């Protein structure tokens, strides 16, 4: 048996991991292993190819279509009617922009002189021992060992174990955006971020959308007021099936049949069958630790399937001890499953590999998140419930401010109706320290940035509100007015 190929560094995954190689590692041999994402195993990671970027390009197009509809435009005295959405043209516009970036990135890593010390292998890596890998490629299996291993292998759509679901070959976020044509109707299984974003896209494009949620609210992990509001909005726009458990799925010659029954056995509702043209599973993502067989490398895996790491992105063994020379970033190990988190973790891991005696932490900033549905949603820090629980335990007091978009001048310009879209900010009563912020309304992900900055730099609500100009009459005044309530 031949000896394995040895490298200084093994890098697995082409998402945020693609930012790892650079001139600082010119004296190191690097093997870069990537299986790709989606059915076509595209190079470049989830965000670029099947996640953040294409979905937001679809979201913006959906919003353009939604605003063109007669019922929306007539509020502004505009005579407008949406004649339809040419989905193939939308799809081609988006992927004609994205696919060349993916292909160019792969070509750059494979053959550019900048990467003379890097060997790119397209295939699936799995551990066969500590820092020892077998890589399955089209040309056979290659055995690899390395002194340092950086895991950035990401995640994939999770398919629940519902009878008949796998056999029905459901759509996922990996496949739906490249359809030749959209179905007339669709059931979206899930009530989280991915489900809501695709509900907005598909409904705006003319698909009859059914959202199936096991709980009594959508986005149930978010602040309760946000969850309540988006549930109201979605229920007025789509067919929303709350408290509904999917018990069986069948694909037939004419579509998909979905058996539903109440999630709460005490609910006075009868089981029913929903019939649609197709089904989209959007119930979350699962880390690729099983594809890596990370446990065979001595790496600890938590109950959610994530690689266990410490705050320095060093992988841990099953007992929680640091494994020398193994790091992990992104969806593979982060419960946040956010691209901006993966990017920051990559920077931390990169620094720590280069500077093992000057380690940096990755858990030193509040983590924001956004949902690009309609309306937009953004959050950072504690929910109101979490803040009240913290205050009760710590013997502290909190204040909560809520400001409606409709009460500021730009809200009038947008014809927003109260009570509706709002900003909620939670602060410690005596210090004004901002503990959390939650926004549902236009451009929420942009508006929340000033509050992310305040939390990151320890600015009080009073200082943020009073020690800068706020442009009038611009949308950020909704943030200013909320902060003034706290100040």
Write down the catalytic residue from 60, 103, 112, 472.
472
Cβ within 8 Å of residue 238, ≥6 positions away: 199, 203, 209, 210, 211
Contact 228, 198 (CB under 8 A): no
Residues written for the chain: 487
> For residues 399-420, b (16+ Cβ closer than 10 Å) or e, as one string?
bbbebbbbebebbeebebeeeb
Give the up-direction half-sphere exposure of residue 180: CA atoms within 13 A in the CB hemisphere.
Answer: 0
Q: Closest by alpha carbon to 96, among 57, 43, 41?
A: 57
CA 208 to chain centre: 24
Q: Contact, 150 vs 172, CB < 8 A?
A: no
Residue carrying the six token digits 């609210």: 217
Cβ-count burial 110-131 (b if 16+ within 10 Å, e if not): eeeeeeeebbbbbbbbbbeebb
Answer yes or no: 472 catalytic.
Answer: yes
Element (H, E) at 254: none
Answer for the pair 45, 154: CB distance below 8 angstroms, yes or no. Answer: yes
* Runs of H (alpha helix) within 334-418: 339-354, 384-394, 409-413
Rounded CA-CA distance 399/94 in Å is 44
- Round to the nearest angstrom and report the end-to-end CA distance of the chain: 72
Active site amino acids:
472
């Amino acid at each position: 048996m031949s000896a394995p190929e040895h490298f200084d560094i093994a890098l697995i995954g082409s998402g945020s991991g693609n930012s790892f190689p650079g001139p600082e590692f010119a004296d190191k041999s690097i093997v870069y292993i990537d299986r790709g994402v989606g059915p076509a195993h595209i190079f470049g990671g989830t965000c670029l190819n099947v996640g953040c970027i294409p979905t937001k390009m679809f979201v913006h197009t959906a919003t353009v279509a939604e605003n063109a509809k007669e019922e929306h435009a007539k509020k502004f005295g505009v005579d407008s009617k949406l004649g339809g959405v040419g989905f193939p043209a939308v799809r081609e516009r988006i992927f004609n922009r994205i696919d060349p970036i993916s292909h160019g990135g792969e070509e750059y890593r494979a053959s550019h002189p900048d990467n003379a010390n890097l060997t790119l292998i397209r295939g699936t890596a799995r551990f066969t021992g500590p820092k020892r890998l077998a890589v399955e490629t089209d040309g056979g299996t290659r055995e690899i060992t390395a002194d340092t291993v950086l895991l950035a292998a990401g995640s994939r759509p999770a398919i629940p174990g519902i009878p008949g679901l796998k056999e029905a070959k459901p759509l996922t976020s990996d496949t739906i955006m490249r359809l030749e044509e959209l179905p007339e109707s669709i059931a979206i299984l899930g009530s989280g971020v991915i489900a809501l974003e695709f509900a907005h896209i598909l409904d705006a494009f003319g698909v009859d959308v059914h959202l199936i949620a096991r709980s009594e609210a959508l986005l149930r992990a978010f602040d309760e007021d946000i969850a309540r509001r988006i549930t109201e909005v979605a229920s007025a726009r789509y067919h929303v099936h709350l408290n509904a458990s999917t018990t069986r799925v069948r694909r037939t010659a004419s579509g998909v049949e979905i058996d539903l029954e109440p999630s709460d056995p005490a609910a006075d509702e009868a089981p029913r069958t929903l019939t649609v043209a197709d089904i989209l599973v959007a119930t979350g993502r699962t880390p690729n630790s099983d594809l890596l067989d990370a446990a065979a490398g001595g790496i600890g895996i938590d109950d959610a399937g994530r690689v266990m790491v410490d705050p320095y992105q060093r992988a841990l063994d099953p007992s929680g001890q640091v494994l020398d020379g193994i790091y992990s970033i992104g969806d593979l190990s982060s419960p946040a499953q956010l691209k901006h988190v993966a990017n920051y973790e990559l920077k931390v891991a990169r620094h720590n590999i280069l500077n093992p005696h000057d380690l940096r932490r990755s858990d030193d900033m509040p983590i924001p998140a956004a949902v690009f549905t309609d309306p937009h949603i953004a959050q950072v820090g504690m929910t109101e419930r979490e803040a009240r629980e913290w205050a009760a335990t710590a013997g502290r007091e909190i204040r909560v401010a809520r400001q409606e978009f409709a009460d500021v001048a730009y809200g009038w310009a947008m014809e927003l109706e109260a009570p509706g879209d709002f900003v909620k900010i939670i602060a410690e009563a005596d210090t004004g320290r901002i503990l959390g912020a939650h926004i549902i309304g236009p451009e929420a992900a942009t508006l929340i940035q000033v509050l992310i900055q305040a939390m990151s730099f320890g600015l009080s609500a009073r200082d943020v509100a009073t020690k800068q100009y706020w442009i009038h009459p611009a949308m950020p005044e909704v943030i200013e007015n909320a902060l003034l309530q706290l100040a």
